[in-house]
Amino acid sequence: MRLLFLGDVVGRPGRHVIADRLPRLRERWRLDCVVVNGENAAGGFGITEAICDEILQAGADAVTLGNHSFDQREALVFIARQPRLVRPANYPSGTPGRGATVVETRDGARVLVVNVMGRLFMDAMDDPFAAAERELSACPLGEAADAVIVDVHAEATSEKQAFAHFLDGRASLVVGTHTHAPTADHRILPGGTAYLSDAGMCGDYDSVLGMQKDEPLRRFLQKTPGSRLEAAHGEGTLCGLAVETDARGLATLVAPVRFGPHLEETWPRAWD
């Protein structure tokens, strides 16, 4: 099975590069399942129903979220009726939405998509390890799922790495999001789980984490009130990770994906 995970979509540049690149990549690489983190898609803060639909129509099978899940208040309502939109599973009990979903591919395979949020240097949340254990126990790889993708939305690399080792052999892919900078540690762990500490972002890299540079820079130089952060508006770069799995749902190939300005372009050459 061929899987593609795309990092945090930030504002209009991220949405545009998804709309422009993803449909062609889906056909060119014969992708079975695409998951996109969309928690910054609405101007850098949350997601709206229209934007979620836009990402799904571009070729995503599921959209994951993170600490900005409910920055757009409408998400409190529409998340309940959109089964392919997944917020962190370790939000407190009673939070609208779901922390996992099962996507059926065109060939009838089942892909479990799980989203959790870290606790180091992040908002206080329920235990993400226990939440992931609950979701994977209910839909284990090789039994109820043919592939498992886990988005770990976290600040600390140590927490993401620990999560990957915790799930090694039980997930096809454990991938980090949130820090918006792609890391170079993509690999297949001993148990067969593909891993990357951070998928980076789909957005304008001539920025500060996808936001226009002036206000973030001012905040570092001056500790005074200022203007609202706004998403950068230059050309976006598509950024994520490609994974190929075997009949057991374990990874046999992992490769970074980057198309666009400011970063070196790369993709899984074996798929061309």
The per-residue pLDDT for range 233-256, each reduced to its tens digit, is 999 999 999 999 999 999 999 999
Cβ–Cβ contacts within 10 Å for residue 216, how many? 15
C-alpha atoms less than 13 angstroms from C-alpha of 14 in its C-beta half-sphere: 34
Record the pTM.
0.96
Quick one: average pLDDT of 202-217?
Answer: 95
Annotated binding residue at 246? Answer: no
68 part of the active site: yes
What is the mean predicted confidence (pLDDT) over 132-138?
98
8 marked ligand binding residue: yes
Return d(Cα 65, Cα 101) in angstroms, integer. 13
Confidence label for 223 from pLDDT (cuts 50, 70 and 90)? confident
β-partners of residue 152 are 116, 176
- Cα–Cα dist 263/169, whole Å: 32
Q: Is 180 annotated as a binding residue?
A: yes
Q: How confident is the model at residue 225 (pLDDT cuts 50, 70, 90)?
A: confident
Question: Above 90 in pLDDT, residue 263?
Answer: yes
- Copy the structure tokens of residue 127: 């235990």
As assigned by CATH, the class of the 2-265 domain is: alpha beta
DSSP 172-241: SEEEEESS-S--S--EE-TTS-EEES---EEB-SSSBTTB-SHHHHHHHH--S--PPP-B--S--BEEEE
Per-residue pLDDT, 169: 98
Q: 254 vs 14, 185, 187, CA distance in Å?
A: 23, 11, 6
Lay out the sheet containing 173-177: strands in order across. Answer: 100-104, 110-117, 147-153, 173-177, 194-196, 187-188
Q: What is the pLDDT of residues 83-96, one digit of tens each?
A: 999 999 999 999 99
Binding residue per annotation — 40? yes
If you average pLDDT over residues 106-122, what whole number do you get? 96
* List 68, 165, 186, 262, catalytic entry: 68
Q: Give mean pLDDT, residues 88-109.
A: 96
Please provide the average confidence, as pLDDT, over all residues in the chain.
97
pLDDT at 147: 98
Q: Could you give the C-alpha distances from 247 to 1, 38, 108, 166, 235, in angstroms and in order?
A: 8, 29, 14, 22, 38
User: 165: annotated binding-site residue?
Assistant: no
Residue 14: phi and psi, rounded to 5, are: -65, -40
List the end-to-end C-alpha distance of the chain, in Å, as a whole number: 15
Is the pLDDT at 68 greater than 90? The verdict is yes
Output the pLDDT for position 76: 96
Instruction: Give the pLDDT score at 226.
Output: 86
Q: Domains of the chain: which residue ranges?
A: 2-265
pLDDT of residue 73: 94
